[in-house]
């Protein structure tokens, strides 16, 4: 599983998910509708249960949704994301090796020159215009409800003239008013009118081939989309209910008028002739292939004279408000039936549904894209789905499990294993991400590894396989990717200036791991109930750390900094200062020295008595300047003497420290004298004056001192 | 009767007028107070703003230098710019306003955390007898919560902020009439006399001009006085913590907890915890007397001066020294010539007065200031005080004293000393270091090893806090508090260094991480002043110390990281791998008494989150308000760390060690039950299990 943060599914999940496989048109942006695939399956079970009460069913359905809705939503979202921006490719997984068509055999003999050779060769091929592949259309017949085939086949001509045009809608250029349209007449054929349903020999039917070269971008205009325009000219009686209604959808633009000069010149309409048209998009404007191999029945539309259309190229949709049941159109209206096949040069390549130059991003996408449309019953074109899928399945089975048609039943267990529902599927697509796994083993492995929010258990079944699906209660959705990604903002990658440090993330890669032989038995429900817990053995810093003070995420470049390396956090420094400041019976000189000393000790964290001599010398070096500036020399001397009284420093240290301090002071004075000479002498008399005034007060204080001598020593700390 | 009528009326009128005045005055004062408060708040706010601004600028500057990803301006996601927000008014005259909607990206949430202050060493706090705030129990009020709160408040003397407002101070005592009027207006606030007393009390104490009587002016200031040595050094002596080497340290400032009755008798709670230095014995070898004159003008060249000094030194006798040690030897600077009686008298009074510094020798000063023989050498107060201070240390080494005073020559100092008659006798240590000492020491050590073993066997779980003992009368016997609490005497004790109860330290040459090391065996860290061979006293700067048993004191913790835990709330993670038994971090916090822990614990129980950790029988470490990152380590029954209370240079400290080898990035756990059986209930997972 790719690293991704689950549980982020908000409202965005629902809207991002594509319409579900079996969602029967309910797929909308709402959260509920995303359980579509299952609601469908629930509905499928309905007849099996004997006349269940409606409420009971509803409640049951609710329970079902409760259990499976959320994870399904998440996997839907991930599927879509994986299509748009794949994190990994399925074909590179070992259990999906059959999806990988590349071989490594050539690598040994590979030469760089080969690449050039290859390119040159390819260019040559293109020039020679070999029919690399072509679109083959085989027309079965033109059906019109008014004409009974029995009638027509005998007296009148039982064929109509069909003209097939390739319409290229080009990109609008500045000078163009509308999108330039190019119509390339491809072929004119006679198509049998209302033939029997009995199969005729394919060779007898009219067919035509459109070279894929036609779908290559032409030089003059960049072509936006390609579509096939079918025009049937029927020389019959006037139709009573001529106008048939069609639905529009993205794929098929039924009933459009193409104002072409050619049409004007035509004189079909004069003698009761009728022209029916239909258009089908081959490649849409995103260059996605819309027409896959299969049998098609196109609803034709009678072309009316429209004067407007001659003036302007407008895309018009004729809609009468009434909505007809879709299949009515096909039973009544004029329809054209044909088989479509993308044929290649050689037989084995013929299955490639995509023309070379317009290859879509991956073949899966194309398949997926076609799927929802093909299943919509409201569409004008009913593709015989079973045929398409049959073909595909067959193809796949040829590749992996020769000639074994598997039916896979999904059994959903929920609500304490009491309720079970099943849905039969006969392909090996993953129901959550529609990935074609092609092999049962691969499917099971994929389900187990990629959809670990569920538990899948394989149960052999006479018709194929049954997969029990239940919710994985022990699912660990914890994040294993780069923790920085969680907090990084979108577009963040481009907002940095210059190289920056990244969080190192450790992943363990096992080189040539020991692999057991793939066997379906590994998916059987284990006896002891719980499988061995897959524990991640990844060690390292695969998580996002936070600053302990502000709970902000720790950025990669801050990883090396330990906030606890600071022995004296700022608040503690401030605290010791205020605490000393709070003393009322300690004079300011003492306070200053104490504060400086405390900060010094806190910074260096002295722990031993025998460090003290060194600490004092260091103190002089670091704070000597301040001591001199604040005029604290004598207080500092008192501090040293006090330290000596505590037996912590030697007399030698006192001498040395004071000598050093004097030295620093002299240098300071010298510098000051050098700078300015006048203010220094004025200080001196002031000082003496002050002392002169102060002496009587000091005596007074000492007198009060004696009178107040009863104060206990503890009062030293007034704050307490 | 008639005369009385107008009088009472007048009096009534008067009293009504007075009442009104009092009322208006009271209102005015209240308003004033409110204004002042608002101003203060405003000022504080502005100051804070400025501080924040400064910090941000500093940070930005710093960030510019480093290669750091800038914090991006929150970008809009999707096409939300098309959305608009509308503000509508209820009034028709205001137009509704629209503004573009800007959406902020979601940020992944983090677990809940109360704010706390970082700390790398324990911090002792006092008991809180006042409840600071009523604990917040959530918005909803439950009945059991109320009952709990009532019980809680009963545990305290009161709740902070209960007291009434105070009178604003003024200089003059107002007329009695005013007090009378106030008393009649607010009868519940006390009688007139009481109000007056209160007024005096409130206005007088915070006068900022006068220094308190015990305080001496700064030595470096202009008002320096000539005082005795004790007085000069009083602040330094009393505030210095001999154990932390700091003034007014955070850990040892508390008066000893009278936990047990025997101790409370031994040392009075009034006494400062910091021992004054006088009782510490001085190293005698340090006293150097220079025999060579320091220069041409040296006092030694004076006739008889050298002999005078020497003679005094020789004369010193042992009994005298002992005597001084018995008394509070604040008399060391006093004059012998003054007469013993007066000196001792003053001394006894001073010690009875609780060691205050009240002994300004006025007489002495007067005598010193009379210029008898010295020709006009002025000594100011600072110099005189300094001389006395230095003489206590340098004795008759006048050259050194002069050098340190700086402003006087040694000859002047000598003259002053002679005049003051303060020539001191240098105490000479008797015996000194005898050759047999080594042997004795060894014997001592062997005895100790036995004792440690013995202690181990006793294995009493009671561990008491260490207090330096101070009983000068007798050696450390069964009455010594250290012995009674089964603690060793430490270097901080006042007893003889050869005391039987002292721990001798180890003599290991290895890493001191096995029970071979007596320190390790006694659950002590190696003392850098005792263990000289193991390396505990070397390499102060580097982290590579050969001794592995000194990690807590040196703070050799591992780099820890904080992240949401895999178990509950926040967790502690280790950055680098560690080996088994390696020191990881110290569990730091506030050191509180057991009683306080009981009170706090009651609130923490309610919050289901506790950071209490038993330190010893007397104290508990509480990391709730202050602590370090290890406080976030969660409990586990299968932990990767263990906690150990270690005696580190006289303090019990909690070390967290690795129980096994730990990989980098692993979350740290230790067993909370180490000391507290009930600590279990604070941990999320096990709590849930219990509920189930």
- Selected residue of B255, B389, B561, B662 to mutate for chain A interface (largest A Cβ count, 10 A): B561
CA distances from B439 to B436, B497, B499, B530 (A): 5, 15, 15, 17
Pairwise CB contact (< 8 Å): B214 & A716: yes
> Contact B278/B329 with Cβ under 8 angstroms?
yes
Q: How near does any CA of chain A get to the CA of B91, in Å?
A: 36
Q: What confidence category does residue A22 fall into, taking pLDDT thresholds of 50, 70 and 90?
A: very low
pLDDT at A103 over 90: no
C-alpha span between B415 and B411 (Å, rounded) = 6
**Which of B118, B225, B240 lies closest to A548 in CB terms?**
B118
CA distance B441 to chain A (A): 20
Pick the most confident of A71-85, A335-349, B329-343: A71-85
Higher local confidence (pLDDT), A594 or B135: A594
Kind plus residue range of the DSSP H or E element containing B640: none
Q: Which residue has the higher pLDDT, A536 or B160?
A: B160
Residue A15 — very low, low, confident or very high, per pLDDT cuts 50/70/90? very low
Distance (Å) from the C-alpha of residue A565 to the closest C-alpha of chain B? 8
CB–CB of B217 and A694 under 8 A? yes
Cα gap B99→A239, rounded to integer Å: 60
Q: Does B215 touch chain A (CB under 8 A)?
A: yes
The mean pLDDT of chain A is 65
End-to-end, the C-alpha distance of chain A in Å comes to 63
Which of B121, B217, B585 lies nearest to residue A698, judging by beta carbons? B217
- Residues of chain B with pLDDT below 50 are 1-3, 71-80, 164-169, 207-211, 255-273, 278-286, 314-374, 424-438, 456-457, 459, 675-692
Assess whether pLDDT exceeds 60 at residue A601.
Answer: yes
Angstrom CA distances, B17 to A374, A431, B184, B185, stand at 100, 94, 13, 12
> Which residues does chain B have within 8 Å of residue A7's beta carbon, measured at their own beta carbons?
none
Q: What is the mean pLDDT of residues A451-457?
A: 87
pLDDT of A635 above 80: yes
Instruction: Determine the residue among A574, A588, A641, A650 to mutate to test chain B binding: the one whose Cβ has the most chain B Cβ atoms within 10 Å.
Output: A641
Residues linked to residue A161 through DSSP beta bridges, in sequence order = A190, A233
Q: Is the pLDDT of residue A333 over 80?
A: no
B403 part of contact set with chain A, CB < 8 Å? yes
pLDDT band at A169 (very low <50, low <70, confident <90, very high): confident
Touching B: A residues 212-241, CB under 8 Å: none
- Pick the residue from chain B with its C-alpha nearest to A715: B214
Q: Which two tokens stand for residue B258?
A: 């009278």
CA-based nearest residue to A10, from A37, A34, A36: A34
Q: How does DSSP classify residue B570?
A: E
Q: How many CA atoms lie within 13 A of B218 on its CB side?
A: 18
Nearest CB to A564: which of B72, B117, B629?
A: B629
User: Best-predicted range by mean pLDDT among A6-20, A228-242, A262-276, B203-217?
Assistant: A228-242
Tell me which chain B residue has its CA closest to the CA of residue A691: B222
3-state SS assignment for residue B23? helix
Distance in angstroms (rounded) separating the CA atoms of residues B44 and A425? 73
Residue A312's pLDDT is 42
B235 to A647: CB separation less than 8 angstroms, yes or no: no
Return the pLDDT at B47: 93
Output the pLDDT for position A698: 37
**Chain B residues near residue A646 by CB distance under 8 angstroms:** 240, 242, 277, 280
Query: How far, in Å, CA of B203 to CA of B28, rounded?
Result: 19
Cβ separation A569–B223 shorter than 8 A:
no
* pLDDT confidence of residue B27: 93
Q: With a CB-CB cutoff of 8 Å, which residues 674-703 of chain A face chain B? A: 687, 690-691, 694-695, 697-698, 701-702
Pairwise CB contact (< 8 Å): A647 & B281:
yes
**Residue B29 has what pLDDT?**
93
CA atoms within 13 A on the CB side of B468: 26
Interface of A with B in 613-642 (CB under 8 A): 614-615, 631-635, 637-639, 641-642
The reply to whether residue B218 touches residue A587, judged by beta carbons under 8 angstroms, is yes
pLDDT score recorded for residue B5: 56
Q: Do A645 and B233 touch (CB under 8 A)?
A: yes
Cβ-Cβ contacts under 8 Å between A and B: the total is: 304
- Res B363: pLDDT: 39
Question: Strand, helix or coil at A501?
Answer: coil
Cβ atoms of B218 and A587 closer than 8 Å: yes
Contact (Cβ atoms closer than 8 angstroms) between residue A596 and residue A627: yes
For residue A653, pLDDT over 80 is answered with yes
Higher pLDDT, B264 or A94: A94
Q: Residue range A60-74: average pLDDT? A: 86
Give me the percent of chain A exceeding a pLDDT of 90: 0
Confidence of residue A720 (pLDDT cuts 50, 70, 90): very low
- Residues 648-677, chain B: which have Cβ within 8 Å of A? 649, 663-666
B634-635 and A274-283 beta bridge pairing: unpaired
Nearest to B382 among A572, A601, A634 (CB): A634
- Closest chain A C-alpha to B42 CA, distance in angstroms: 22
With a CB-CB cutoff of 8 Å, which residues 504-523 of chain A face chain B?
A: 506
DSSP for A189-210, written as a single string: EEEEBS--SSPPPGGGS-EEEE
- Please tell me the predicted confidence (pLDDT) of residue A259: 39
Residue of A nearest to B528 (CA): A608
> Per the CB < 8 Å rule, is B270 touching A712?
yes
Chain A: residue whose CA lies nearest to B277: A646
Residue of B nearest to A656 (CA): B404
Interface mutation vs chain A, best among B71, B74, B76, B214, most A CBs within 10 Å: B214
Mean pLDDT of A73-77: 90
Nearest CB neighbour to A610, from listed B75, B529, B566:
B529
Q: How far is B373 from chain A (nearest CA, A)?
A: 23
Most confident of A459-463, A658-662, B10-14: A658-662
d(Cα A246, Cα A255) in Å, to the nearest integer?
A: 8
Contact call for residues A641 and B393 (beta carbons, < 8 A): yes
Measured between beta carbons, which residues in chain B are less than 8 angstroms from residue A503?
Answer: none
- Stated as kind and residue range, the H or E segment containing A599 is helix A588-604
What would the mean pLDDT of A176-180 be, rounded to a whole number?
67
Dihedral of the alpha carbons of B2, B5, B7, B12, in degrees to the nearest 10: 180
User: How far apart are the C-alpha atoms of A578 and A309, rounded to whole Å?
Assistant: 92
pLDDT of residue B493: 83
What integer pLDDT is reported at residue B603 of this predicted model? 82
Pairing state between β B634-635 and B669-670: parallel
Q: Is B562 helix (H, G, I), strand (E, B) or coil?
A: strand
Nearest residue to B381 (alpha-carbon basis) of B212, B228, B214: B228
What is the helix, strand, coil percentage profile of chain B, to 5? 40, 10, 50
In this prediction, residues A91-96 reach a mean pLDDT of: 84
More confident residue, A604 or A423: A604
Q: From CA B376, how far away is CA A566, in angstroms rounded?
A: 55
* pLDDT value at residue B35: 94
CB atoms near residue B331 (< 10 Å):
20
Q: How many whole angstroms from its chain centre is CA B273? A: 10
With CA atoms as reference, report the closest residue to B491 among A605, A599, A598, A607: A607
Minimal-distance CA residue of chain B relative to A506: B665
Position A136 scores a pLDDT of: 80
Q: What is the pLDDT of residues A567-586, one digit of tens each?
A: 788 888 888 888 888 887 78
């Amino acid at each position: 599983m790719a690293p991704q943060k689950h549980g982020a599914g908000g409202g965005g999940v629902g809207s991002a998910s594509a319409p579900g496989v079996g969602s029967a048109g309910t797929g909308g942006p709402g959260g509920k509708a995303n359980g579509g695939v299952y609601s469908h399956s629930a509905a499928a079970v309905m007849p099996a249960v004997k006349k269940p009460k409606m409420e009971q069913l509803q409640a049951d359905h609710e329970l079902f949704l409760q259990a499976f809705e959320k994870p399904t939503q998440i996997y839907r979202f991930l599927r879509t994301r994986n299509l748009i921006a794949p994190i990994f490719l399925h074909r590179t997984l070992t259990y999906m090796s059959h999806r990988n068509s590349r071989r490594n055999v050539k690598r040994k003999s590979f030469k760089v020159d080969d690449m050039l050779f290859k390119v040159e060769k390819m260019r040559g091929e293109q020039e020679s215009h070999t029919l690399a592949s072509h679109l083959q259309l085989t027309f079965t017949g033109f059906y019109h409800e008014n004409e009974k085939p029995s009638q027509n086949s005998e007296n009148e001509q039982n064929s109509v003239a069909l003209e097939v045009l390739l319409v290229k809608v080009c990109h609008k250029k500045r000078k163009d008013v509308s999108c330039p349209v190019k119509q390339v007449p491809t072929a004119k054929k006679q198509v049998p009118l209302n033939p029997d349903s009995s199969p005729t020999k394919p060779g007898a039917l009219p067919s035509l081939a459109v070279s894929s070269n036609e779908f290559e971008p032409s030089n003059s205009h960049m072509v936006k989309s390609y579509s096939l325009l079918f025009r049937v000219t029927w020389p019959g009686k006037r139709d009573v209910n001529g106008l048939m209604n069609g639905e529009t959808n993205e794929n098929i633009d039924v009933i459009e008028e193409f104002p072409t000069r050619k049409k004007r010149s035509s004189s079909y309409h004069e003698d009761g002739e009728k022209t029916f048209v239909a258009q089908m998009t081959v490649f849409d404007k995103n260059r996605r292939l819309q027409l896959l191999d299969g049998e098609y029945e196109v609803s034709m539309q009678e072309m009316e004279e429209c004067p407007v259309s001659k003036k302007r190229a407008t895309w018009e949709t004729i809609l009468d408000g009434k909505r007809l049941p879709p299949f009515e159109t096909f039973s009544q209206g004029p329809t054209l039936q044909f088989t479509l096949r993308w044929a290649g040069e050689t037989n084995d390549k013929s299955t490639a549904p995509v023309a070379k130059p317009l290859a879509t991003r991956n073949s899966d996408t194309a398949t997926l894209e076609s799927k929802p449309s093909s299943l919509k019953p409201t569409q004008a074109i009913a593709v015989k789905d079973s045929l398409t899928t049959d073909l595909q399945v067959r193809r796949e089975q040829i590749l992996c499990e020769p000639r074994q048609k598997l039916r896979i039943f999904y059994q959903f267990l929920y609500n304490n294993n009491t309720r079970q529902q099943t849905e039969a599927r006969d392909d090996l697509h993953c129901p959550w991400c529609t990935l074609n796994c092609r092999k049962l083993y691969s499917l099971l492995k994929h389900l187990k590894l990629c959809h670990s929010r569920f538990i899948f258990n394989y149960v052999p079944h006479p018709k194929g396989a049954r997969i029990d699906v239940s919710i994985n209660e022990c699912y660990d959705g914890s994040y294993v990717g780069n923790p920085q990604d969680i907090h990084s903002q979108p577009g963040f990658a481009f907002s940095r200036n210059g190289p920056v440090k990244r969080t190192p993330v450790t992943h363990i890669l096992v080189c040539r791991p020991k692999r057991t032989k793939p066997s379906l038995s590994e998916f059987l429900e284990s006896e002891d109930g719980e499988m061995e817990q897959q524990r991640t053995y990844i060690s390292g810093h695969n998580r996002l750390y936070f600053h302990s003070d502000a709970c902000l995420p720790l950025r990669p470049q801050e990883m090396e900094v330990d906030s606890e390396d600071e022995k004296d956090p700022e608040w503690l420094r401030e605290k010791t200062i205020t605490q000393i400041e709070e003393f009322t019976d300690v004079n300011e000189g003492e306070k200053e020295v104490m504060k400086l000393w405390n900060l010094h000790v806190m910074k260096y964290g002295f722990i031993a008595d025998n460090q003290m001599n060194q600490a004092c010398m260091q103190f002089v070096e670091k704070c000597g300047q301040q001591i001199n500036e604040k005029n604290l020399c004598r207080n500092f001397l008192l501090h040293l003497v006090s330290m000596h009284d505590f037996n912590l420093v030697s007399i030698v240290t006192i001498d040395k420290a004071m000598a050093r301090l004097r030295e620093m002071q002299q240098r300071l004075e010298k510098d000051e004298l050098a700078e300015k000479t006048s203010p220094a002498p004025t200080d001196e008399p002031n000082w003496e004056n002050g002392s002169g005034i102060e002496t009587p007060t000091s005596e007074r204080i000492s007198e009060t001192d004696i009178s107040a001598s009863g104060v206990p020593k503890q009062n030293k700390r007034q704050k307490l | 009767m008639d005369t009385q009528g107008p009088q009472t009326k007048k009096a009534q009128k008067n009293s009504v007028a007075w009442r009104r005045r009092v009322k208006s005055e009271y209102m005015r004062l209240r308003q004033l107070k409110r204004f002042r408060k608002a101003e203060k708040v405003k000022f504080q706010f502005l100051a804070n703003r400025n501080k924040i601004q400064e910090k941000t600028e500093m940070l930005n500057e710093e960030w510019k230098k480093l290669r750091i990803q800038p914090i991006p301006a929150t970008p809009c996601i999707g096409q939300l710019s098309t959305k608009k927000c509308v503000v509508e008014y209820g009034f028709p005259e205001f137009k509704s306003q629209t503004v573009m909607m800007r959406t902020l990206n979601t940020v992944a949430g983090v677990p809940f955390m109360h704010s706390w202050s970082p700390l790398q060493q324990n911090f002792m706090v006092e008991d809180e007898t006042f409840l600071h705030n009523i604990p917040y129990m959530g918005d909803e009020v439950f009945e059991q919560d109320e009952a709990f709160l009532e019980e809680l408040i009963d545990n305290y003397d009161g709740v902070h902020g209960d007291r009434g407002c105070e009178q604003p101070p003024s200089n003059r005592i107002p007329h009695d009439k005013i007090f009378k009027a106030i008393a009649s207006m607010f009868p519940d606030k006390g009688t007139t006399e009481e109000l007056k007393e209160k007024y005096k009390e409130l206005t007088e104490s915070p006068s900022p001009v006068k220094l308190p009587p015990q305080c001496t002016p700064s030595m470096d200031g202009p008002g320096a006085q000539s005082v005795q040595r004790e007085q000069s050094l009083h602040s330094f002596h009393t505030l210095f913590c001999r154990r932390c080497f700091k003034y007014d340290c955070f850990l040892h400032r508390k008066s000893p907890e009278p936990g047990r009755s025997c101790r409370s008798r031994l040392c009075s709670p009034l006494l400062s915890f910091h021992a004054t230095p006088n009782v510490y014995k001085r190293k005698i070898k340090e006293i150097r007397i220079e025999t060579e004159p320091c220069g041409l003008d040296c006092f030694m060249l004076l006739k008889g001066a050298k002999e005078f000094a020497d003679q005094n030194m020789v004369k010193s006798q042992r009994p005298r020294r002992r005597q001084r040690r018995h008394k509070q030897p604040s008399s060391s600077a006093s004059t012998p010539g003054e007469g013993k009686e007066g000196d001792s008298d003053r001394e006894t009074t001073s010690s009875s007065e609780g060691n205050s510094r009240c002994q300004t020798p006025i007489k002495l000063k007067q005598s010193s200031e009379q210029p008898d023989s010295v020709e006009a050498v002025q000594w100011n107060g600072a110099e005189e005080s300094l001389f006395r201070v230095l003489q206590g240390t340098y004795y008759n080494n006048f050259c050194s004293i002069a050098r340190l005073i700086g402003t006087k020559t040694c000859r002047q100092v000598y003259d002053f000393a002679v005049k003051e008659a303060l020539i001191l006798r240098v105490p000479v240590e008797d015996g000194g270091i005898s050759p047999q000492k080594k042997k004795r020491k060894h014997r001592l050590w062997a005895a100790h090893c036995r004792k440690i073993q013995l202690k181990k066997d006793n294995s009493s779980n009671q561990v008491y806090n260490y207090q330096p003992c101070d009983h000068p009368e007798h050696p450390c016997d069964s009455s010594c508090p250290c012995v009674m609490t089964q603690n060793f005497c430490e270097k901080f004790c006042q007893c003889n260094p050869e005391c039987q109860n002292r721990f001798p330290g180890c003599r290991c040459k290895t890493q001191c991480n096995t029970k071979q090391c007596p320190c390790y065996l006694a659950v002590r860290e190696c003392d850098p002043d005792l263990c000289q061979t193991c390396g505990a006293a070397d390499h102060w700067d580097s982290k590579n110390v050969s001794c592995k048993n000194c990690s807590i004191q040196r703070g050799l913790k591992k780099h820890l990281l904080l992240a949401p835990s895999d178990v509950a709330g926040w967790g502690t993670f280790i950055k680098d791998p560690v080996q088994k038994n390696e020191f990881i971090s110290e569990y730091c916090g506030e050191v509180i008494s057991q009683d306080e822990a009981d009170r706090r614990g009651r609130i923490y129980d309610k919050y289901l989150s506790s950071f209490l950790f038993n330190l010893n029988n007397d104290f508990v470490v509480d990391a709730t308000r202050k602590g370090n990152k290890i406080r976030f380590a969660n409990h586990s029954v299968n932990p990767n760390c263990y906690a150990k209370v270690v005696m580190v240079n006289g303090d019990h400290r909690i070390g967290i060690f690795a129980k096994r080898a730990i990989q980098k990035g692993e979350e740290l756990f230790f067993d909370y039950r180490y000391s507290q059986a009930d600590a279990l209930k604070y941990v999320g997972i096990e709590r849930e299990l219990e509920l189930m």
